[in-house]
Structure 1
């Protein structure tokens, strides 16, 4: 590394220059003291021309990075759990609609065909707490799932941007789409068994109880279907979560940037060119209001749900197919389930439960994104 022109500081030490193309956030200032020892400051670039290094400062920087990663994981987990719990009643109705013909037998009634009648039936037969049936498992799944999802998205996005490829800029849809897709795949594979158990618990009616809890569900599924049973339907699930989260993150980030530009445009008229430039810089990463966050997140959630909902119906049915298979020797496939669903219910069968899903997705996605951004801001002490 070339030293170039070295500037002095107030203590008489010399500050080694850093490359002009270096990301400001990644700089660590190098100071050559009068003793000839090069140490690290708070900004700048790494230098190999050292007699000694301030190891404590390097450790402090590593600790800050670790704490920031932990904050992102925690904020993501809490955000997902809060969003899921608030919308749990609609989530359960959606799942029951999606699989109602499979959980209906000669001993149980068919599930109600409308949202209002379904709500009334569950409330009458099972009580108000039934709308949160399986929510403990949902949170057990949602916390690590959402944590891994947000963390992976941030890491992949930052990694892509650091490559400085013209196609993958900071706010380009290609960057967001690729990051969201990888995040969705990673979180799904990591947390899938809990998702399957959650689905089976949520689809139980009081007239047909197969699993008494999470532990019993794991034991029974493993005994009857083998360990592979805990991953039944994962392929179909990836077909849902990968495009769903890719679209979700892409639209949310794009709409968020658009909302910020609108807010900035409201404060720019009447300012001088210098004041306008300063205002743009000051509000480049401005915090959106709760309403803006809900609108951005809700819109992204609606679009992603409309695109992936038919596949979601198939994957939910695949997750519980082993319970209701007439012949234990036959393992239903996603293709087989989709074909049978189309034959018996037509195209409308692939959109059964869409109404409660859309009613759920606006508050859930909005709450999740809003909680994540605000909690991350507090934990990482961002300006």
Structure 2
């Protein structure tokens, strides 16, 4: 009875690889599909602080933004920053589940869900939050780059601040060092701990 967790973790390497790929691919497809909406949302959020968008050229709303982006920046501009988003979500989804299993062995080793429900529930919360925080340490630079690229409204390469994902990462490291890639991490990690703790706590209990 006390080996419930151990029994659930009897996954072979092939099963783990399938979970890894399935989680990453599904996230990549879904993020690519909604990328235009994400970019419009991001531009509306940051336009008042952007040096590239003059006050008189700010977007008037969602429809105006959707109409002007392809006219001013080209149709593919809807997916600006999407590569970073896809790369970020592939390991994020996979690492969350991988690290969750590792932390469940730590928090829930020998805990029986039926006889120790609340300890099991709290262990799931802890393993979910820890998994989310650990995963974020690896992928946060991509999240940072996605935001920077999505907020870049230059029409051509000469007007844009960054020419792509690698260029964004290189310029940030050159100007601010590695720590520059983790700007805002403290706030993000608090949110991800709460979110993943609640998600896995409810999902696995």
Scaled to the shorter chain, the TM-score interval is 0.7 to 0.9
Residue in 1 aligned with 2:135?
187
Q: Which has the higher contact order (CA 8 A, sep 6+)?
A: 2
The TM-score, its normalising length taken from structure 2, stands at 0.79
1:114 and 1:199, CA in 2 relative to 1: closer, same or farther beyond 3 A? Answer: same
Question: 1:289-304 alignment to 2 at 5 Å?
Answer: none
- CA contact 1:157–1:176 (8 Å) conserved in 2: yes
Q: Give me the CA root mean square deviation.
A: 3.0
Residue in 2 aligned with 1:218?
169
Residue in 2 aligned with 1:381?
none
The TM-score, its normalising length taken from structure 1, stands at 0.45
C-alpha distance in structure 2 between counterparts of 1:176 and 1:92, whole Å = 34
After TM superposition, give the deviation of residue 87 of structure 1 in Å: 1.4
Q: Which has the larger radius of gyration?
A: 1
- List per-residue Cα deviations over 1:235-294 (Å, max 9, x = no partner): 12212222223234445x28xx9xxxxxxxxxxxxxxxxxxxxxxxxxxxxxxxxxxxxx
Pair 1:141 & 2:82 matched: no
Larger % of strand: which? 1
Question: 1:1-383 alignment to 2 at 5 Å?
Answer: 23=4, 26=7, 65-105=12-52, 107=54, 109-157=56-104, 160-164=107-111, 166=116, 167-169=118-120, 172=121, 174-207=122-155, 208-250=159-201, 253=203
C-alpha distance in structure 1 between counterparts of 2:74 and 2:97, whole Å = 35
Q: Structure 1: any 5+ residue segments left out of the alignment?
A: 1-19, 27-61, 258-383
After TM superposition, give the deviation of residue 182 of structure 1 in Å: 1.3
**Aligned pairs, how many?**
197
C-alpha distance in structure 1 between counterparts of 2:67 and 2:181, whole Å = 32
- CA contact 1:77–1:146 (8 Å) conserved in 2: yes
C-alpha distance in structure 2 between counterparts of 1:119 and 1:163, whole Å = 54
- CA contact 1:122–1:130 (8 Å) conserved in 2: yes
Q: Structure 2: any 5+ residue segments left out of the alignment?
A: none
